[in-house]
Amino acid sequence: MRIFTKGTLAKFWNIYPDAYPSLKTWFDVVEETDFKTPNEVIKLFKGADTVGNGRIVFNICRNKYRMIAKFEYDRGFVFIRFIGTHKEYDKIEDIKNI
């Protein structure tokens, strides 16, 4: 799948270097996989959850950080919509439209 954008992840792991291994692995796996449904994503990333409107929440670094990605399966696109600390994630009010 095509991920928009790796730069967003790189900015985050430059601030939080402990997130690098998890984010790099996530990026490599998603880039090489052609997901067709949310269930396929959840099956591969066991700690992930769907939150509606094409968005999936991923736990990064054993849930120290959270990432929300929007999947457009028909186009093969993934958009990073949010990445931050768990505390920042908890402040999101409209997660389905982020």
Nearest to 23 by CA among 66, 77, 52: 66
Strand partners, 61: none
Q: What is the pLDDT of residues 35-61, one digit of tens each?
A: 999 999 999 999 899 999 999 999 999
Distance between CA atoms of residues 44 and 6, nearest Å: 20
The whole-model pTM stands at 0.93
Q: 10 to each of 25, 73, 86, 88, how far by Cα in Å?
A: 13, 24, 18, 18
Q: Which residue ranges form the domains of the chain, and what is each CATH number?
A: 2-97 (3.30.2310)
Q: Look at 95 and 77; give whichever has higher pLDDT.
A: 77
Q: What is the pLDDT of residues 2-13, one digit of tens each?
A: 999 889 999 999
pLDDT of residue 83: 97
pLDDT of residue 51: 93
Supply the pLDDT for residue 16.
97
Cis before 5 (ω within 30): yes
